[in-house]
């Protein structure tokens, strides 16, 4: 079984869970003997690819006069990006060809017909353009490689998946790691929503990372339930723990929020719960680690509640700093309003930190040894924090069972499930095409 | 002549209200009055009243040949008094027939036998007194919470004057021995033991409506046949179960009430079987052998041990903290505080904290108001912490009063 897979990022160049998930899944699929050609918009050269064949979309030459691409070109010139859509902006890059298009030149007038696109990668301002260009390149890639099935991760790659499927006649699997509703609440970007819907409608099978996401796919996008299959994410086995774990320098207990400070992650509920706990507990500190568009508002709220001496903001944490943060935390809270899966509580549990997770998260479906609360139930959240800090049996239970539970949530299970899905769609596909 | 001993357990706990840490020190109620009332009235209507009616009818029909026995936890009785007095009246009617034996147990459906001899004795005495008051007779047979029994508990029960006790016919204790005989305690041979035949009891209590069971549907006819076919040397088949089996665990639609109505008639028709109460059996039968039970057994789960209530860190911490309060609570002599402390002893609270069932949770989820054992633990500990605070402040007040008195005298 060979799969042509379209991703948007690959470790170490990741800004969210998508790259990590793709990495874990591809590794597990390799173990099942599945061949993978993994396409990303841009390769940096230091990706942890091992035996996976990584294809750099920026290296692909396409003839832009081809009629197949015309529909995409037409749209590139007028698609606007909602700037709130992607709060974690990276460096913007502008492309000569787009400028020329925007300045009114037609494709035919462009001097180069055969060209390569230099993708920025990441999530810049020209994201929607890159998504369209990616689709163009995908079609070319599909003609250059041999494979049985196409697998596209998240909306950014759906158009690429569709074009590759059209060009090759191979079945398409799309993977929902997050929906537009998870990212934006009710104020969704219609263009993104439309791409998601089109991708899922075109797909033979839609993989959802949780039952929560599966329900959204069915109810909000109107996708037929029969073709939506839940495959829970796994978690990578822990790397060698760094020997220099910091010792906590203060006696106070630490309760941590770690994630993007955006609507989706529910930071304000963490603050309200913290306030309630602080009324009763003198020796506790709260940490909000991460950055995002809601950060200024959160800082103002903490100040207004008069608890800034015991509530700390760290800004964005990366790599070892994340491990260090877990190392000094007594409680980890993930109050997400909407979390399709949510891998960070698993990382916390692996570091023996007890976790409180929102019931509105996919990971709540696979965890027993975690406290679960509705994200809006600030009282329950506060109570869970208090319980973990005051009743020693609780952290003790989590230490003895939590870590073991996480070790059982493996990518291998996800890999096997996805491989079965490939076999199923390839089988169905050959049957319909042979008729 | 083979006897059938029907014994039904009647119990409802006082379920806790959602109790947050910031409710401590306020007047927030410990117990969820609304759901306790609602559940009690619902179970009364679906189970206790119709089942009692059927039994009354059967006694009317077969006279003193038909016998049953009950044990009512003190917490159930208190809730009958508050929320469904008509149920108590109907139990009194059953008692008046003379065909029904009421057993003694701990007032609070507690696990006190495992922790505090003093508290255990007190609860049994309270229960005895209430039984006498309600049904006119002091109980002579004892049944411990969850049928928990060990040599040590046997001694304790014997010291309280009981001649007979009910427990589980646990396989790991019986080995090749039949549960269908009278046994006695190895540590105190004067105490006779009646053992639950768990296969036949659970055929009714758990499997009756299970359509995946090869014997479904279970007819009274078939069931009577099975009892007839037990070993010829067997003396008694002990069918022990929750009374809520009838109409609550097994809904009326499953035909459980029809089963109950028809079964005694079929037993009599067989010609060589009768119904006896535990005290009758105690008078009739001699022990076949002593039973050595060094570690406590119970009627729960495959293991038939204590792990449904005790064993994980949360259960153990809660249990320890609960009984740590004993002497302090009692010293306050505050009836309300003592009552609340007793309500918190119900085994149900510890059962909600069990983590054994993460893999096969269905049976247990049904009886569990919490979505996770962790939630159950936090809520319980919050309540218990508040009780601790109240007890402390009572003590301080008492101390202050006493010092005030002595100073006045001086």
The two three-digit tokens of residue A46, written as one number: 């230091």
Within 8 A of B24 by CB-CB distance, chain A residues are 280
Is beta strand A172-176 parallel, antiparallel or unpaired with respect to A149-153?
parallel
Structure ipTM: 0.88
Domain boundaries, chain B: 2-291, 313-409
The CATH code of domain B2-291 reads 3.20.110.20
Which residue in the list B78, B101, B105, B146 is annotated as catalytic?
A: B146
Looking at the predicted structure, is the pLDDT value of residue A65 above 70? no
- CB-nearest to B378 from A369, A391, A401 is A391
Q: Which two tokens stand for residue A261?
A: 């400070």
Taking one residue from A and the other from B, the number of pairs with CB-CB distance under 8 angstroms is 66
Nearest residue of A to residue B381, measured between CA atoms:
A391
CB contact under 8 A, B372 and A368: yes
Distance (Å, whole) CA B11 – CA B243: 8
Is 50 exceeded by the pLDDT of residue B30? yes
If we measure between CA atoms, which residue out of B281, B301, B387 comes closest to residue B340? B387
DSSP H helical segments within A225-314, as ranges?
267-280, 295-304
3 state SS of A14: coil
Closest-approach residue (CA) in chain B for A276: B22
Under CATH, which architecture does the A2-234+412-434 domain have? Answer: 3-Layer(aba) Sandwich (3.40)
By the CB < 8 Å criterion, does B320 face chain A?
A: no
A60 phi, psi to nearest 5 deg: -85, 135
Chain B interface, mutation test: which of A389, A391, A401, most B Cβ atoms within 10 Å? A391
With the CA atoms of A372, A340, A46 and A419 taken in that order, what torsion angle do they form, in degrees rounded to the nearest 10? Answer: 110
pLDDT at A81 over 60: no
- The pLDDT-based confidence of A132 (bands split at 50, 70, 90) is confident
Given an 8 Å threshold on Cβ–Cβ distance, is A400 in contact with B374?
no
pLDDT at A99 over 50: no
Using a CB-CB cut-off of 8 Å, the residues of chain B touching A393 are 312-314, 316-318, 377
B302 is catalytic: no
Q: Which residues of A touch B316 (CB under 8 A)?
A: 393
Contact B313 A393 (CB under 8 A): yes
Residue B225 CA to residue A170 CA, distance in Å, equals 64
Residue of B nearest to A280 (CA): B22
Least confident of A53-62, A310-319, B159-168, B215-224: A53-62
Question: Mean pLDDT over residues A3-27, rounded?
Answer: 82
pLDDT at B49 over 80: yes
A contact test, residue of B20, B355, B374 with most A CBs within 10 A: B374
CB-CB under 8 Å, B318 with A386: no
CB-based contact B313 A382, cutoff 8 Å: no
The pLDDT assigned to A17 comes to: 73
Residues in A touching B378 (Cβ below 8 Å): 371, 383-384, 386-387, 391, 394
d(CA A191, CA B285): 84
Average pLDDT over residues A94-103: 40
State whether A387 and B378 contact (CB < 8 Å).
Answer: yes
**A393:B375 CB<8 A:** no
Q: How far is A73 from chain B (nearest CA, A)?
A: 53
**By the CB < 8 Å criterion, does B23 face chain A?**
no
Does A140 score more than 80 pLDDT?
yes
CB contact under 8 A, B372 and A372: yes
B373/chain A closest Cα distance in angstroms? 9
Tokens read off for A278: 């602080």
Residue of A nearest to B18 (CA): A380
Across the range A107-112, mean pLDDT stands at 35
pLDDT at A369: 94
Stretch 139-178 of chain A: residues touching chain B, C-beta under 8 Å:
none
Q: Give the nearest partner residue to A383 out of B20, B317, B371, using CB atoms.
A: B20
Mode of pairing for the β-strands spanning A61-63 and A114-116: antiparallel
| A393 Cβ under 8 Å from any chain B Cβ | yes
Assigned architecture for domain A253-408: 3-Layer(aba) Sandwich (3.40)
Q: Which of A379, A382, A394 sits opposite B377 (nearest CB)?
A: A394
* Closest by Cβ to A383, choosing from B313, B358, B378: B378
Which of residues 25 through 84 in chain A touch B, CB cutoff 8 A?
none
Closest chain A CA to residue B315 = A393
**Across the strands, what pairs with B141?**
B164
Does any CB of chain B come closer than 8 Å to the CB of residue A400?
A: yes
Q: Determine how many CB atoms are found less than 10 A away from the CB of residue A114.
A: 9
Count of CB atoms situated within 10 Å of the CB of B53: 14
Q: How far lies A212's CA from each of A4, A24, A228, in Å?
A: 27, 21, 12
Which pLDDT belongs to residue A100? 40
Residue B197 has what pLDDT?
97
**From A397, which residue of chain B is nearest by alpha-carbon distance?**
B313
Residue B77 has pLDDT above 60, yes or no: yes
> How high does pLDDT run on average in chain A?
83
Cβ-defined contact of B358 to A384 (cutoff 8 Å)? no
Cα separation, A98 vs A92, whole angstroms: 13
What is the average pLDDT across B68-79?
98
Give CATH 3.40.50.2000 domain extents, chain A: 2-234+412-434, 253-408
pLDDT value of residue B350: 97
Contact A371 B317 (CB under 8 A): no
- Range in A72-76, A91-95, A124-128, B84-88 with the lowest mean pLDDT: A91-95
Contact A387 B381 (CB under 8 A): yes
* Subunit contact B22:A372, Cβ cutoff 8 A: no
pLDDT > 70: percent of chain B: 97
Shortest CA gap B311–chain A (Å)? 11
Q: Check if B382 contacts A (Cβ < 8 Å).
A: yes
**pLDDT computed for residue B396 by the predictor:** 86
Query: Which chain B residues have a beta carbon less than 8 Å from that of A400?
Result: 313
Alpha-carbon distance of B244 to B292, in angstroms, equals 31
User: Residues A275-315: pLDDT tens digits?
Assistant: 999 999 989 999 999 999 999 999 999 999 999 999 999 99
Residues of B in contact with A380 (CB under 8 A): 20
Range of weakest confidence among A26-35, A123-132, B237-246, B351-360? A123-132
The strands making up B164-168's β-sheet, listed across from edge to edge, are B141-143, B164-168, B192-196, B183-185, B289-291
């Amino acid at each position: 079984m060979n799969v042509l897979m379209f991703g948007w990022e690959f470790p170490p160049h990741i800004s969210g869970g998508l790259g990590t998930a793709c990495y874990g899944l591809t590794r597990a699929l390799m173990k099942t003997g599945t061949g993978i050609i993994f396409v990303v918009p841009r390769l940096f050269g230091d990706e942890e690819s091992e035996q996976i064949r990584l294809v750099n979309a920026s290296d692909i030459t396409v003839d832009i006069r081809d009629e197949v691409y015309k529909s995409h070109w037409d749209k590139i010139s007028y698609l606007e990006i909602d700037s709130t859509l992607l709060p974690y902006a990276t460096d913007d890059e502008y492309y000569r060809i787009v400028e020329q298009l925007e300045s009114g030149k037609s494709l035919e007038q462009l001097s180069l017909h055969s060209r390569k696109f230099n993708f920025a990668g990441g999530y810049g301002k020209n994201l929607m353009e890159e998504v369209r260009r990616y689709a163009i390149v995908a079609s070319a890639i599909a003609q250059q490689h041999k494979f049985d099935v196409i697998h596209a991760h998240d909306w950014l790659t759906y158009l690429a998946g569709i074009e590759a499927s059209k060009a090759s006649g191979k079945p398409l699997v799309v993977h929902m790691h997050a929906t537009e509703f998870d990212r934006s609440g009710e104020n969704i970007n219609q263009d993104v929503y439309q791409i998601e819907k089109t991708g899922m409608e075109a797909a033979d099978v839609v993989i959802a990372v949780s039952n929560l996401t599966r329900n959204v796919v069915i109810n909000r996008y109107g996708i037929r339930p029969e073709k939506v299959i839940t495959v829970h994410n796994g978690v990578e086995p822990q790397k060698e723990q760094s020997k220099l774990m910091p010792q906590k320098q203060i006696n106070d207990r630490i309760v941590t929020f770690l994630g993007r400070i955006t609507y989706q992650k529910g930071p304000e509920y963490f603050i309200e719960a913290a306030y309630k706990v602080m009324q009763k507990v003198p020796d506790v500190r709260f940490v909000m680690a991460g950055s995002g568009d809601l950060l200024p508002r959160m800082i103002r709220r903490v100040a207004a509640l008069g608890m800034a001496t015991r509530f700390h903001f760290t800004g964005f944490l990366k790599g070892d700093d994340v491990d260090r943060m877990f190392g000094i935390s007594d409680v980890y809270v993930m109050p997400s309003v909407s979390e399709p899966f949510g891998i960070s509580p698993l990382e916390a549990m692996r570091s023996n930190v007890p976790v409180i997770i929102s019931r509105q998260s996919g990971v709540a479906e696979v965890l027993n040894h975690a406290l679960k609360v509705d994200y809006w139930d600030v009282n329950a959240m506060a109570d869970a924090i208090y319980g973990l800090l005051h009743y020693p049996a609780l952290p003790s239970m989590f230490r003895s069972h939590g870590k073991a539970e996480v070790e059982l949530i493996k990518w291998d299970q996800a890999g096997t499930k996805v491989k079965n899905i490939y076999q199923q769609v390839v089988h169905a596909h050959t049957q319909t095409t042979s008729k | 002549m083979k006897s059938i001993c029907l014994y039904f357990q009647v119990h409802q706990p006082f379920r806790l209200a959602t109790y947050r840490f910031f409710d401590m020190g306020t007047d927030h109620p410990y117990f969820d009055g609304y759901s306790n009332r609602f559940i009690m009235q619902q179970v009364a209507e679906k189970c206790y009243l119709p089942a009692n009616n059927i039994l009354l009818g059967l006694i009317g029909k077969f006279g003193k040949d038909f016998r049953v026995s009950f044990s009512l936890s003190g917490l159930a009785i208190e809730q009958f008094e508050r929320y469904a007095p008509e149920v108590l009246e109907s139990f009194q009617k059953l008692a008046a027939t003379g065909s029904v034996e009421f057993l003694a147990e701990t007032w609070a459906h507690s696990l006190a036998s495992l922790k505090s001899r003093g508290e255990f004795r007190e609860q049994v005495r309270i229960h005895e007194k209430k039984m006498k008051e309600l049904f006119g007779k002091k109980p002579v047979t004892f049944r411990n919470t969850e049928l928990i029994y060990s040599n040590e508990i046997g001694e304790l029960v014997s010291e309280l004057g009981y001649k007979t006790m009910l427990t589980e016919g646990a396989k790991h204790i019986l080995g090749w021995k039949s549960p269908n005989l009278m046994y006695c305690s190895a540590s105190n041979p004067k105490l006779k033991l009646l053992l639950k035949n768990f296969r036949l009891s659970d055929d009714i209590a758990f499997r009756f409506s299970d359509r995946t069971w090869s014997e479904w549907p279970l007819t009274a006819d078939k069931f009577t046949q099975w009892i007839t076919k037990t070993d010829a040397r067997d003396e008694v088949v002990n069918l022990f179960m929750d009374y809520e089996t009838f109409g609550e665990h097994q809904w009326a639609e499953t035909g459980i009430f029809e089963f109950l109505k028809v079964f005694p008639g079929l037993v009599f028709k067989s010609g060589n079987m009768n119904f006896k109460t535990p005290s009758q059996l105690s008078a009739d039968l001699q022990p076949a052998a002593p039973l050595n039970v060094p570690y406590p057994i119970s009627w729960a789960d495959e293991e038939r041990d204590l792990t449904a209530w005790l064993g994980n860190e949360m259960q153990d911490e809660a249990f320890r903290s609960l009984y740590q309060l004993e002497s302090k609570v009692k010293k306050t002599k505050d009836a309300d505080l003592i009552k609340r402390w007793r309500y918190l002893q119900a085994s149900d609270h510890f059962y909600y904290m069990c983590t054994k069932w993460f893999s096969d949770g269905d049976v247990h989820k049904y009886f569990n108001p919490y979505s996770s054992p962790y939630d159950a633990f936090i809520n319980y500990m919050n309540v218990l912490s508040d009780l601790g605070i109240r007890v402390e402040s009572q003590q301080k007040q008492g101390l202050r009063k006493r010092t005030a008195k002595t100073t006045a005298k001086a």
